[in-house]
């Protein structure tokens, strides 16, 4: 596979520490306690629709491989947890990441990437590949530290396979993800801190808020 542009920039080890990781604060959440959604939701038929000003992204769940993560995502979405959050990390040729409640506050950019729901979900790794359109859960170094942050892959990223929990795939609107990943973003020199007034590295300069709706 051709080495993606972002791997050329950071190198494999740098990317593994840079991307998809929830900040250390997010690694200090309560013990595993995935949210319950009750028997009324059939994950096999349910869809998630992420509405943004750039268009909608529709996600099909994969309950056979990640039932607990889907249960958790649906519960959070139904409670309005994701509404008003943004895709706070965008890396062209790779992915867009969102789901951090800290991003609801435009004045707390220094905390972007560190938030979560207050509980973790145990890893449900599978043999599914991280191909374009896959939706997977972000986490900290602990494999069982996923909470609410997720990412959508815009270019095949097979090095993530069996290291992050895939729980869905985009069935409509992948072009919207392409628009988001192409937004101007905070650029940082390797090893240098991000500009305090603009937010963390790879944070889009333009806010694109989301509203997540579950369709059953």
Say how far apart CA 204 and CA 186 lie, in whole Å: 6
- Give the confidence band of 135 by pLDDT, cuts at 50, 70, 90: very high
Q: Cβ contacts of residue 137 below 8 Å, gap of 6+?
A: 66, 69, 121, 146, 149, 150, 151, 164, 165, 167
78 by Cβ neighbours in 10 Å (0-12 / 13-18 / 19+) ranks as middle
pLDDT tens digits, 51-85: 999 999 999 999 999 999 999 999 999 999 999 99
Tell me the average pLDDT across 28-41: 46
Domain 5-31+45-215 has CATH 2.70.240.10: no
Q: How far apart are CA 47 and CA 204, in angstroms?
A: 26
- Mean pLDDT over each residue of the chain, to the nearest integer: 84
pTM: 0.84
Measure the CA–CA gap between 167 and 30, rounded to whole angstroms: 22
* DSSP-derived 3-state class of residue 80: coil
Between the alpha carbon of residue 31 and those of residues 111, 118, 149, 165, the distances in Å are 22, 9, 17, 18
Report the range out of 8-12, 29-33, 83-87, 182-186 with the highest average pLDDT: 83-87
Express each pLDDT in 167-213 by its tens digit. Answer: 999 999 999 999 999 999 988 765 555 555 566 789 999 999 999 99
What pLDDT was estimated at residue 75? 97
């Amino acid at each position: 596979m051709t080495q993606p542009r972002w791997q050329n920039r950071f190198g494999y080890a740098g990317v593994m520490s840079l991307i998809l990781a929830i900040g250390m604060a997010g690694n200090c959440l309560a013990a595993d306690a995935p949210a319950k959604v009750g028997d009324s939701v059939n994950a096999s038929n349910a869809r998630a629709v992420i509405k943004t000003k750039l268009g909608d992204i529709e996600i099909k769940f994969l309950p056979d491989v990640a039932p607990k993560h889907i249960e958790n995502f649906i519960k959070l979405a139904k409670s309005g947890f994701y509404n008003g959050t943004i895709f706070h990390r965008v890396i062209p040729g790779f992915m867009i990441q969102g789901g951090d409640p800290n991003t609801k506050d435009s004045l707390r950019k220094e905390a972007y990437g560190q938030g979560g729901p207050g509980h973790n979900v145990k890893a449900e790794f599978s043999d599914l590949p991280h191909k374009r359109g896959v939706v997977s859960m972000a986490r900290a170094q602990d494999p069982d530290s996923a909470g609410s942050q997720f990412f959508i892959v815009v270019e095949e990223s097979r090095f993530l396979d069996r290291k992050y929990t895939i729980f869905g795939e985009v069935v409509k609107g992948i072009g919207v993800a392409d628009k988001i990943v192409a937004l101007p973003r905070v650029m940082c020199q390797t090893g240098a801190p991000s500009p305090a007034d603009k937010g963390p590295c790879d944070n889009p300069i333009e806010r694109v808020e989301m509203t997540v709706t579950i369709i059953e």
